[in-house]
Amino acid sequence: MITAMDKENPYDLRAELRREKQKKAEDDRKRAEFELALGAVMASADGQKVLREILRRTHIFAISLMAGNSDITAFREGERNVGLSLLGDMNAVSPEKLGAIMYEEIKEHKK
């Protein structure tokens, strides 16, 4: 049987602060794990190739405008937003490796 003492008081600010602190700690842990994994991907030559291709496919190296077709432009802008988010993560994890990836893209584009 559940009694009134077993239920959490919705007005207990300390309990709410504890929950928020636990959630932030969990979010920070997940972010750190993600950054470690992304760093490992960026450190390998194959990982860099994959990331460069993802950035290409999300229109980071080109415009997403499709003249006369606003639906396709909007769709490409959504894809670009994903690429920009990845680009930001890559820059936060390893700006040096991101520079190397961008340099390789520039070299390949000039061919």
- Place 51 in a pLDDT band, splitting at 50, 70 and 90: very high
Report yes or no: 79 and 54 within 8 Å, Cβ to Cβ: no
Average the pLDDT over 71-99 and give the result: 96
The distance from CA 5 to its chain's CA centroid, rounded to whole angstroms, is 43
| Residue with the two structure tokens 């490796």 | 97
Distance CA 84, CA 97 (A): 16
Residue 19 has a pLDDT of 92
